A and B are shown apart, each in its own frame.
Chain A
Amino acid sequence: MIRRPNQTRTIILLVAPAFVFVLVFFVLPLIFLLSQSVLPEEGGFTLTGYLDFFQSRVSRIVYLRTLKLGLIVTGISVVMSYPAAFVLARMPARRRSFLMSLVILPLMTNAVARTFAWLIILGRRGMINQTLLSLELVENPLRFIFTETAIVLGLTQLFLPLMVLPLVSAMENIPNDVLEAARSLGANRLTTFVRIVVPLSSDGLVLGATLVFTGSVTAFVTPAILGGSRLLLMSTLLRQKAVIIFDQHAAAVVAVVMIATTLGVNLLLRVARVQHS
């Protein structure tokens, strides 16, 4: 390691340009946002914005719906990824790296394109309705778009890779010997999976769950396309307050509640990790 008398000066010079950029263009706007949420245009400090938010039935429903859908998406992602991630982690390296590149492909495509597919699948004349109609299971097309199911499907497809990636990298580190030991000592597959694989991959699980949950509760494109103004989530509510109702004070409150939610989840994760280790 480099030790020099003017080390602090060097560090400051290296860090300063980007640091000032983030401070001025990122931290200051957030402080301004915070002040907007407690200082309405009429002047004076007030917390009525927050009281209004939590007392209003509509915004309470929207907030709880957002959290609920976030939890459902996280749960589905865990169930869908866990066994599959295990298969991926046990694969020969070449095949795994090919399959992993397919997992990150959806992450690398814009959310509008990915969500659009669900309009084709779930639409009035979409894949599911046409199948149901041709099998004569229903007489009229069912409405899937603008439902919670549609949003859950869209969000799960969007964020599933964020669960698979940390799980696979946690499971790669489980030595084969440990699994063989468990098996040779009489544990069946299910017991080995539940008692050995799950505890040893819990770090990946917690990280993946945090990424999926915070992604889901803050995503905009999916609820905008599949929920619209009929089924608002926090992000679409923020946009509605800011652009359509044009109430910047109320919009700032929604924004701060969104930040508090994601920071709260990340803080919980940090506490859980400290206790874990």
Chain B
Amino acid sequence: MVSRWMYISLVILYGFLLGPFLIIFMASFGANANLAFPPQGFTLDWFANVFETSQFIDSFWISLQLALLSTIVSLIMGMPVAYALTRFHFSWSGMVETVFSAPILVPGLVIGFAMLNFFVLLGDMHVMTGLFIGHTAILFPYSVRVISASLRNLDPYVEDAAVSLGANRLRGFLLVVLPNMQAGIAAAFVLGFITSFNNVPVSLFLSGPGVTTLPVSMLSYLEYYFDPTIAALSTLLVIFTVVLVQTAERLLGLSQFV
């Protein structure tokens, strides 16, 4: 049933998906500053330049803190929601599901814009607080969905057994359910972290003077400079992502949750 031209289409697909990465990779080691193709010579200067550009270093730390904080908070708040949705039948569960999937249906740029206007209305808010709120809100759909999927895979009777043996609900959850959900929680964590770490549209409006995320600062760097520094930084980020995603895929099968 699988014919030769289907294999050709597979090769084209992967060439198109991964080819750009190869080009970024090559450009980041090339000596010519104007990004002419093919790259001439070999240099590590652009990588050095990444680490010497304070705007990238500062925004990297902000992105890292922001991604960790918003992922953890969205997981801690999302987990009880997922638990309620999978373990109880209630008439308004559809409404709860809609509310928690809504942030995925609204364009990120619109979310950032609406939040900025609203925060201005509320008065002085720290830029980092605004970014944290924005990122946490857009991560709820992921954490609720992934944790729900992982809870559905777990037999509710296991938990009921713990309760009938004398544990209270909370103890049953902490000692029986939680340890069995490690893979789901880790998958939700990786997915949330990457979503936040890479986000541009929500962060764009919510970033402020001196407080910018890494992708947004890459975008603004591109407005003024066109040299392989961005290619070098992208290469570093791709390596970082490959290690993270491959580890997660190997351990947890991440692609089934995306």
The interface of chain A, by Cβ under 8 A from chain B, is 1-2, 7-8, 10-11, 13-15, 17-19, 21-23, 25-30, 32-33, 36, 80-81, 83-84, 86-88, 90, 97, 99-114, 116-121, 123, 125-127, 130, 156-157, 160-161, 164-165, 179, 183, 189, 192, 214, 218, 220-221, 224-225, 235, 238-239, 242, 248, 251-252, 255, 258-259, 262-263, 266
Contact = CB atoms under 8 A, between A and B. Distances in A.
Given A116-B222, A239-B109, A97 B1 contact: no
Given A114-B20, A116-B24, A127-B23, A7 B88 contact: yes
Contacts of B258: 104, 107, 165
A214 B105 CA distance: 9
A76 to B, nearest CB: 10
Contact of B16 (A15, A80, A83): A80
B35 A111 contact: no
Given A1-B89, A81-B13, A105-B241, A220 B108 contact: yes
Contact of B136 (A21, A239, A251, A259): A21
A5 to B, nearest CB: 13
B117 interface: yes
Contacts of B205: 242
Interface string B135-162: 0110010001000000000001000100
A102 B109 CA distance: 27
Contacts of A251: 113
Contacts of B174: none
Contact of A22 (B100, B226, B249): B100
Nearest to A236: B109
Contacts of A189: 1, 3
B200 interface: yes
A179 B207 CA distance: 53
A120 B198 contact: no
Chain A CB count within 10 A is highest, among B38, B140, B219, B254, for B219
Contacts of A23: 99
Going nearest first, the 3 A-B pairs with the smallest beta carbon separation are: A117-B20, A113-B234, A218-B107
Contacts of A239: 109, 204
Given A17-B80, A160-B13, A258-B107, A105 B18 contact: yes
Given A22-B140, A110-B198, A97 B34 contact: no
B178 interface: no
A110 B109 contact: no
15 contacts: A15-B81, A15-B96, A18-B100, A28-B118, A90-B1, A102-B17, A105-B245, A106-B17, A112-B215, A112-B234, A121-B20, A160-B13, A214-B107, A221-B201, A255-B114
Q: Determine the main DSSP class of A at the interface with B.
A: helix
Contact of B241 (A21, A109, A235): A109
A238 B152 CA distance: 41
Given A239-B204, A263-B105, A192 B218 contact: no
B109 A220 contact: yes
Interface string B25-43: 0010000001111100000
B117 A248 contact: yes
A127 B37 contact: yes
B246 A110 contact: no
Nearest to A18: B77
Nearest to B9: A83
B83 interface: yes
Nearest to A126: B37
B110 A103 contact: no
A262 B108 CA distance: 12
Interface string B4-18: 011101101110111
Contact of A109 (B87, B140, B160, B238): B238
B109 A238 contact: yes
B57 interface: no
A62 to B, nearest CB: 14
Contact of A26 (B87, B103, B160): B103
Contacts of A157: 16-17, 20
Nearest to B78: A18
A109 B218 CA distance: 13
A75 B24 CA distance: 27
Interface in B35-89: 35-38, 77-78, 80-81, 83-84, 87-89
B198 to A, nearest CB: 4
Given A14-B83, A111-B215, A161 B140 contact: no
Contacts of B78: 18
Given A21-B136, A29-B117, A259-B107, 9 more contacts: A11-B88, A15-B80, A112-B219, A113-B233, A120-B23, A120-B37, A157-B16, A165-B258, A251-B113
Contacts of B224: none
Nearest to A190: B3
B165 interface: no
Interface string B108-132: 1111011101100100000000000
